[in-house]
């Protein structure tokens, strides 16, 4: 794969560690299922790659209720994930308690707004959104829910809410989505290894962190 040039990639020097781009969406159910393995993968490859988390933006803003056909499809995806990724649990009460929307951009902006208060808050916000959505049946398509979550993880909630609604936050999201597209990730989550201007798509395993880390090491060897 040839990666198209973009500002972040232009700064990559072949003498530096390769960049491992993790392309995701905080409301993506497969990303939620991958989260435990991804944590172990990051630990396993630390010091050999620079991990860069990129928001891909699964579904744009919409105030329209999710069509019933789409709701049925998403519920089928949840059941499939539970069958192929042991230990992954979904709270199906979400479909009764909430008015679902096919909109994940607000949750993506929430990750950016958390980052604004310190890079260390990014992972906590992603995990908190996933927990609220998939375990507590709360709706992270709503700004009020996201602001509540921000307060629960110790962020300055008023500052978070202001940044969440800002043009700067939206511009940052669009730039990040552009980067994700330039990396040509294949769905969410995607792993793309980049060294200089050479890139390689990596296959990840939802149940085996060691196998995924091995594939990353093989990619590093192929590119450097």
Judged against a pLDDT cut of 50, whether residue 200 lies above it is answered with yes
pLDDT of residue 15: 53
**Distance (Å, whole) CA 206 – CA 41:** 11
DSSP string across 131-174 = HHHHTT---TTSHHHHHHHHHHTT--HHHHHHHHTSHHHHHHHH
Residue 2 lies in a domain: no
**Distance (Å, whole) CA 213 – CA 208:** 9
Strand partners, 200: 193
Residue 81 lies in a domain: yes
Residue 1 lies in a domain: no
Task: Write out the residue range of the structural domain in which residue 83 sits.
Answer: 7-223
**Distance (Å, whole) CA 80 – CA 74:** 10
At 192, give phi and psi (nearest 5°): -130, 125
Quick: pLDDT tens for 28-49. 999 999 999 999 999 999 999 9
Count how many domains the chain has.
1
Within the chain, residue ranges assigned H as helices are 7-10, 29-45, 68-84, 94-97, 105-115, 121-134, 143-152, 157-164, 167-183, 209-223
pTM recorded for the entire structure: 0.91
Average pLDDT, the chain: 93
CB atoms within 10 A of CB 216: 22
Residue 89 lies in a domain: yes
> Which residues, at least 6 apart from 54, have a Cβ–Cβ distance to it below 8 Å?
21, 22, 23, 24, 176, 179, 180, 183, 185
> Which residues, at least 6 apart from 152, have a Cβ–Cβ distance to it below 8 Å?
128
Judged against a pLDDT cut of 60, whether residue 3 lies above it is answered with no
Quick: pLDDT tens for 86-123. 999 999 999 999 999 999 999 999 999 999 999 999 99
The CATH number assigned to the domain holding 36 equals: 3.40.30.10
């Amino acid at each position: 794969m040839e990666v198209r040039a973009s500002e972040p990639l232009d700064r990559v020097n072949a003498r530096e560690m390769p960049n491992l781009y993790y392309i995701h969406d905080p409301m993506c159910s497969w990303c939620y299922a991958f989260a435990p393995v991804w944590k172990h993968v990051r630990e396993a490859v630390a010091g050999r790659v620079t991990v860069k988390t990129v928001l891909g933006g699964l579904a744009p803003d919409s105030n329209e209720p999710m069509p019933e056909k789409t709701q049925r499809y998403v519920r089928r995806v949840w059941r499939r994930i539970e069958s192929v990724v042991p230990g992954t649990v979904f709270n199906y009460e979400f479909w009764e308690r909430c008015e679902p929307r096919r909109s994940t951009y607000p949750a993506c902006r929430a990750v950016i707004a958390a980052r604004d208060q310190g890079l260390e808050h990014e992972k906590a916000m992603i995990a908190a959104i996933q927990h609220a959505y998939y375990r507590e049946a709360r709706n992270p398509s709503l700004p009020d829910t996201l602001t509540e979550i921000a307060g629960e993880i110790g962020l300055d909630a008023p500052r978070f809410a202001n940044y969440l609604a800002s043009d700067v936050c939206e511009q940052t999201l669009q730039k990040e989505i552009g980067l994700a597209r330039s990396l040509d990730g294949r769905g969410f989550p995607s792993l793309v290894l980049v060294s200089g201007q050479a890139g390689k798509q990596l296959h990840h395993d939802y149940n085996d962190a060691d196998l995924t880390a091995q594939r990353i090491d093989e990619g590093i060897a192929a590119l450097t």
